[in-house]
Amino acid sequence: MLQNEIFGDNIRFVGIGGDEGGRQIITRQDLVTGKPARWEDITKLMVNDLGFSKLRHNHGIGYEDSYAFVSEDSAVFDMRPANVFVTDDGLIIPIDCIPVKLPPGKRAFFDK
């Protein structure tokens, strides 16, 4: 739901898969075609278009080389070209990032 809220997406929860050794959340998302976004595209989307601030590091969430961003009430991790596409029309679409709702007052944790 948070992915949909932040990015105007249409991801739908399908269910839980896997076994006791490795559970997975299963979702569906409209087909996205395009090319991997550039780092600059990701930063533009998050900072200029959506008003997030880029964090200096990703706090160990997502891939090591991924970017992370924070707003007053949300953080988004694992933003990297493999998880963000640019369509032929120039639309930037995150497909596999990690959005997190922040409890009140926790934004300050990321400002240190």
Q: What is the pLDDT of residues 38-94, one digit of tens each?
A: 999 999 999 999 999 999 887 778 888 899 999 988 999 999 999 999 999 998 989
Nearest-5° Cα angle at 50, 27 to 56: 90
Entry field: residues in the chain: 112
User: What range does the domain containing 48 cover?
Assistant: 32-110
Selection from 22-31, 65-74, 98-107 with the highest mean pLDDT: 65-74
Asked, for residue 41, whether it belongs to a domain, the answer is: yes
Asked, for residue 15, whether it belongs to a domain, the answer is: no
Asked, for residue 85, whether it belongs to a domain, the answer is: yes
- Please report the pLDDT score of residue 86 as a whole number: 94
Check pLDDT > 70 for residue 112.
Answer: no
Asked, for residue 10, whether it belongs to a domain, the answer is: no
- Please report the pLDDT score of residue 10 as a whole number: 80
Instruction: Give dist(CA 15, CA 28) in Å, integer.
Output: 10
By the 8 A CB rule, do 66 and 51 touch?
no
Check pLDDT > 80 for residue 17.
Answer: yes
**Other CB atoms within 10 A of residue 19 CB:** 7
- Please report the pLDDT score of residue 53 as a whole number: 92
Asked, for residue 3, whether it belongs to a domain, the answer is: no
Asked, for residue 26, whether it belongs to a domain, the answer is: no
Check pLDDT > 80 for residue 29.
Answer: no
Q: Mean pLDDT throughout 24-49?
A: 89
Asked, for residue 22, whether it belongs to a domain, the answer is: no
How does 75-102 read in b/e, with b if 16+ C-beta sit within 10 Å? Answer: bbbbbbbebbbbeeeeebbbbebbbeeb
- Please report the pLDDT score of residue 33 as a whole number: 81
Asked, for residue 6, whether it belongs to a domain, the answer is: no
Provide the number of structural domains found in the chain.
1
pTM greater than 0.75 (yes/no): yes
